Amino acid sequence: MRRIFTGLFVAAAVMFAGATAAVAQDKTLRIGFVSHQHDITDLFGQLEIGFREALDAKGLKYELFQAAPTASNRHDEMLNILENMANLNLDYMVFGPSSLEQNTPGLVMVADAGTKILMVDYEPKEGSSFPFEHAVLNWSVYNHGQMGEATGRWIAEHMKSQGKDTADVIMIWGPVASEISQDRGNGVLKGMNEVEGFTPNVIYDGYGDFQREKAYAEVERALIAYPSVEVIVGMNSVMALGSMSALEAEGKLDDVLVTGMGGQPDELEMVARGKIGVAVSRDPRNMGENTANALIMHAEGREQDIPKVLYTALRTLDSVDSIRKWVPKAMLDIDAKLAE
């Protein structure tokens, strides 16, 4: 059964069970799936697909309780969701944080309820420890700083290929408290500055809170105040799309380079169409599969064999050819998209 909870828990339900049973079960597993945003085209929607496919292939019977706040910066709603999850008698919970620092009290409640936690989309820093760590089975992640650095290097090299040794840059950040946004953005700055012969000039820092509409509004305002802008960096897929739409509405898309991070299908389609310059991507379905495999190993009594941290490779996608090469066809059929 899949129950969908958004904000204050509004639900629908479906039962999931795989075709071939390989794990002995004396009960249906209760699994929470909580993330700071959830859309079928974005990271967590695709991650959930990979997660469920791996569980179904193993023949597990489970109920899935999925929840997300109304916005990535609604840490208060996330705390309410986690408190409710702690009262659902869950066996496992997949969790993608909005801000790990602000989410920690809720995660402690979930851990104290006896639920095993599977962390996604947040890389634990070396030497760090958390009060809920005893409940964490593993972290399925990628390095957000490296994602940003790859984006920054691509921007610098692209501008140099246009004969420019500097560029006026607008940075569209996620929520102020988001460690993910900070790691990505600081990585972009580092990557640009590391390319010899190129000096970025950041003229404005805007905050789109990982939302398409807010990024659109930020860029719409910034274009009036900073008409010299040459590059706009969105810290995730939907903010890149919002930035692109704002430029398109003002007739300036041909004059300003937009870059994104994440590689959700709509974003990659715009890369293929030349409207977004680059999207450094991770494979969310692989992350979901890694997370499911950790759960399966625990259910089989093999917790000692679970890798504590599992990394997903990053790919720099800036053309139809690179998308065809690296993006799973099940996630995005770029040829079909371009034929529409």
4-44 residue pLDDT tens: 554 444 333 334 444 444 566 789 999 999 999 888 777 89
Tell me the pairing of strands 231-234 and 257-262: parallel
What mean pLDDT do residues 253-281 have?
95
Residue 89 burial (10 A CB sphere; 0-12, 13-18, 19+): exposed
Residue 186 burial (10 A CB sphere; 0-12, 13-18, 19+): middle
Residue with tokens 């997949």: 94
Looking at the chain, which residues constitute the CATH 3.40.50.2300 domain(s)?
2-141+283-313, 145-276
pLDDT at 328 (0 to 100)? 75
Closest to 263 in 3D by CA, of 40, 37, 43, 39: 43
| Cα–Cα distance for residue pair 174/275, rounded to 1 Å | 21
Structure tokens at 297: 């190993």
| Cα–Cα distance for residue pair 221/242, rounded to 1 Å | 13
Is residue 159 classed as helix, strand or coil in its secondary structure? helix
Closest to 51 in 3D by CA, of 12, 6, 96, 11: 96
pLDDT at 169 (0 to 100)? 98
Q: How wide is the angle at C-alpha 121 spanned by C-alphas 16 and 176, nearest 5°?
A: 125
Give CATH for domain 145-276: 3.40.50.2300
What is this structure's pTM? 0.76
Highest average pLDDT, of 31-40, 41-50, 86-95, comes from 86-95
How far, CA to CA in Å, does 27 sit from each of 113, 159, 167, 292? Answer: 18, 58, 59, 18
Task: Specify the CATH number for 2-141+283-313; select among 3.40.50.2300, 3.90.550.10, 1.10.760.10, 1.10.1370.30.
Answer: 3.40.50.2300
pLDDT at 7 (0 to 100)? 45
What mean pLDDT do residues 48-69 have?
95
Closest to 87 in 3D by CA, of 33, 138, 32: 32
pLDDT bracket for residue 96 (50, 70, 90): very high
123-132 residue pLDDT tens: 888 888 999 9
Structure tokens at 40: 């079928």
Instruction: Report which residue type is found at 314.
Output: L
Least confident among 36-50, 206-220, 277-291, 304-318 = 36-50
Closest to 194 in 3D by CA, of 170, 160, 171, 226: 160
User: DSSP strand E in 75-221: where?
Assistant: 92-96, 116-120, 136-141, 166-173, 199-207
207-224 residue pLDDT tens: 999 999 999 999 999 999
pLDDT at 16 (0 to 100)? 45
173-184 residue pLDDT tens: 999 989 999 999
